[in-house]
Structure 1
Amino acid sequence: MRRRLAAAFIVPALMLTAACGGGDDDKKESSDSASASPSTEGAPKPVDAADPMPSVAGDAGKKPQITVPKGEPSGKFVVRTLTEGTGPVVQKSDTVVTKYTGKVWKSGKELTPGSYDDKGQPLMVTPNNPETLPMFAEAVAGKKIGSRVLVVAPPAAAFGAQGSQQLEIGPTDNLVFVMDLDRLMPKKADGTQASLPADLPQIKADKEEPAEIKIPKNDPPKELVAKTLIEGKGPEVKSGQTVYMQYSGAAWKINEGKDKATLFDSSWKAGKPFMTAIGQGQVIEGWDKGLVGKKVGDRVLLVIPPEQAYKDQDKGADLPANSTLVFVVDILEAV
């Protein structure tokens, strides 16, 4: 299967495979991520222009036409707003849904598929995520949604001295991107949360932070529970899509003397949404079965029996063997 180009631009975190949470032994690089983290320490500060400069034609919202000038690039890191949008200013903690077209300066080769090409996908950019390449972080931070931005990135602002074998980018290649800042990804599900019966965990998730989960004293259900707490307005999540989520997870066990469960994992603590292919065995079975068919914008309570989670694996004090798992999942985007 061909990798999606947008996913290849993401510097790999240690993504969770047959689990969401747990120790380092349960983690590996996502199959949709680049094969190695670039060394971009000491990336240069961007400037507005440096001769020679590429030219860009085409209306905002449509695929831009990039003309790379002959000759060598300046070697400077350039970030220039071509068209300023009218939306909110992007904060460093925001995640921006962008559309992009990219080229390699030296060869003029277009990086395909870009967002405007057939089967192309948007690129999600979180500026303060340490895994975000400087060329993308600087392209969106402080800009307004709706803007079109030109980026000329030397290796130090892109993939570093090793380049990217996957994208056929050499160690000395300068890259040119035009990025359209389409919209902000929501930080959490928006709406009134449905009430829950007393025999299910009670959820408090009204802030942009890990949810509070209160476990009832009755035994957990034997079957998978996938209850929509807030109904989103987006499309249904399909198997094989890459889904962006915020989640909190706890084991179903009583914490005597405490009002809320101890979380064994939370994407909120990482400071960025969690992304994974869904319905493809990249996460525990309960996630694949419980989230496919839900909608973008949903908040979902998952109660997952051990057979669809970690089974008899002991993951420590907060996640003992044969645990029923409880997750609160906000589905933010699916592409």
Structure 2
Amino acid sequence: MHRRAAALAVPLAAITLAVSSCGSIPEEWRTPAFLRMNGDQLDPRLPTVTGEVGEEPEVAFPESDPPDEEISGIVSAGSGEDELVRADDLVVANVVQYQWTGPGEGELAEGMSSYETGAPDLIRMEQMPEQISEVLVNQPVGSRAVYVMPPLTEDEQAQAEAAGQAAPAGASVLVIDLVNSFNKGSVVPGEQSTDGGDGLPVVTQEGHSEPTIEFPEDAEAPEDLEVVPLIEGTGDEVEEGEQVIVQYTGVRWEADDNGEHPSFDSTWSRGGDPFDTTIGAGAVIEGWDEGIVGQPVGSRLLLSVPADMAYGATEEETMGAPAGPLVFVVDVLGSYKNPPPAEEEGGAAPEEGAEEEADPAEGGE
């Protein structure tokens, strides 16, 4: 996940630690405790999870010891049959972790509720352990899943403590609410009300294809940032510091030796896999921070970014990034509150982006 190593340390650590012991569980013990057809009942050994999806759940623990095998199930299925989660989606989810400590006893794990922070997790399904993802795949957005992971063995507790992690007491219980899902090739809905022009490039895009960006002859790049909504979104305005999910293509204003303006970077070159980043906080170039903050979710934006709001005017300044003024076409698919930074334990938290893939849209000194 881009730009979220530090911010997601707490919720993703919950998932990772909860399933870390499952590699030692025999395959025949991995029990999907539900049948997807005909509304068959959940395994009675699962905790009872109630409440509306979209609100923090209420969990009642059975009057028995936690099972020594992994069980899971769909508590309630969403209604959106046209919004089924795919195995390679970027999913937005609220995640809550509990500890089942004994018969009828359990509690919310401290700091392990995205409902408390108001900031859902961005989960790339391809990066999730199979025992998490397989329950969610083919479920509609709006569904709620529950997982029970057996208590850690003594060896696993020792391993966790050696790694500086607090070993949870009892079994771990995860509740995951599917808020939204973005698949490869996702674009904003609606038709373009303008294609740009008037001295700026002309943008055409058919369906879920990469946009075509045509430059006017002999036109000069604007000196200031230009933001043109090609499709005006109807969602909430993007706020500074939020995590945005976008599709984008970037090209240089200056043509190459063949008179072309080839893309220097694009999510489409990576199979249309949506990109997520923090906006308005220096995680990306200034042209993105100023151009995207304040725009409604669901917008398609044409951004003409001057060199001083991108990477610089010359190759010497850019350190491998494209020099000069740039043009981006950005689909703003979603925007969500960012989780608070993980608390420091025994040292400073990782710097933002420290363990993430570099991306040409990233900011820099």
TM surpasses 0.5: yes
| In structure 2, distance between residues paired with 1:191 and 1:263 | 24
8 Å Cα contact 1:68/1:108 also seen in 2:
no
Pair 1:243–1:59, CA change in 2 (3 A)? closer
| In structure 2, distance between residues paired with 1:75 and 1:271 | 38
Unaligned runs of 5+ in 2: 34-42, 337-365
- Kindly indicate whether residue 137 of structure 2 is the aligned counterpart of residue 141 of structure 1: yes
8 Å Cα contact 2:95/2:174 also seen in 1:
yes
Residue in structure 2 matched with residue 152 of structure 1 by the alignment: 148
Residue in structure 2 matched with residue 124 of structure 1 by the alignment: 122
8 Å Cα contact 1:96/1:140 also seen in 2:
no
1:174, CA displacement in angstroms?
Answer: 4.9
Pair 1:205–1:296, CA change in 2 (3 A)? same
Residue in structure 2 matched with residue 307 of structure 1 by the alignment: 308
- Kindly indicate whether residue 267 of structure 2 is the aligned counterpart of residue 272 of structure 1: no
Report matched runs for 1:129-278 at 5 Å.
Answer: 129=126, 131-134=127-130, 136-153=132-149, 170=167, 174-185=171-182, 187-193=186-192, 194-197=194-197, 199-217=199-217, 218-255=219-256, 257=258, 261-268=261-268, 269=270, 271-278=272-279
| In structure 2, distance between residues paired with 1:172 and 1:306 | 54
| In structure 2, distance between residues paired with 1:174 and 1:289 | 46
8 Å Cα contact 1:105/1:176 also seen in 2:
yes
- Kindly indicate whether residue 53 of structure 2 is the aligned counterpart of residue 56 of structure 1: no
1:288, CA displacement in angstroms?
Answer: 0.8
| In structure 2, distance between residues paired with 1:64 and 1:140 | 18
1:276, CA displacement in angstroms?
Answer: 1.9
Pair 1:82–1:165, CA change in 2 (3 A)? farther
Q: Work out which of the residue numbers 86, 95, 98 in structure 1 matches 2:93.
A: 98
1:250, CA displacement in angstroms?
Answer: 1.7
Larger Rg: 2
SS of the aligned residue for 1:116 comes to helix
One-letter amino acid of the counterpart of residue 32, structure 2: D
222-231 vs 187-196, which deviates more? Answer: 187-196
1:190-214 deviation line (CA, Å, top 9, x unaligned): 1111122252122233333433333
Pair 1:153–1:333, CA change in 2 (3 A)? farther
1:261, CA displacement in angstroms?
Answer: 2.9
8 Å Cα contact 1:99/1:180 also seen in 2:
yes
1:334, CA displacement in angstroms?
Answer: 1.3
SS of the aligned residue for 2:133 comes to helix
SS of the aligned residue for 1:138 comes to helix
Residue in structure 1 matched with residue 80 of structure 2 by the alignment: 87
One-letter amino acid of the counterpart of residue 305, structure 1: P
Q: Work out which of the residue numbers 1, 9, 12 in structure 2 matches 1:34.
A: 9
Pair 1:30–1:300, CA change in 2 (3 A)? farther
1:253, CA displacement in angstroms?
Answer: 2.1
8 Å Cα contact 1:296/1:334 also seen in 2:
yes
8 Å Cα contact 1:216/1:254 also seen in 2:
no
Residue in structure 2 matched with residue 24 of structure 1 by the alignment: none
1:51, CA displacement in angstroms?
Answer: 8.2
8 Å Cα contact 1:185/1:333 also seen in 2:
no
Residue in structure 2 matched with residue 22 of structure 1 by the alignment: none
Pair 1:219–1:199, CA change in 2 (3 A)? same
Unaligned runs of 5+ in 1: 1-11, 16-28
SS of the aligned residue for 2:115 comes to coil
Q: What is the RMSD computed on CA atoms of the aligned residues?
A: 3.7
Residue in structure 2 matched with residue 114 of structure 1 by the alignment: 113
1:291, CA displacement in angstroms?
Answer: 0.9
Pair 1:92–1:164, CA change in 2 (3 A)? farther
Pair 1:155–1:125, CA change in 2 (3 A)? farther
| In structure 2, distance between residues paired with 1:249 and 1:30 | 25
1:164, CA displacement in angstroms?
Answer: 10
Q: Work out which of the residue numbers 65, 68, 75 in structure 2 matches 1:74.
A: 68
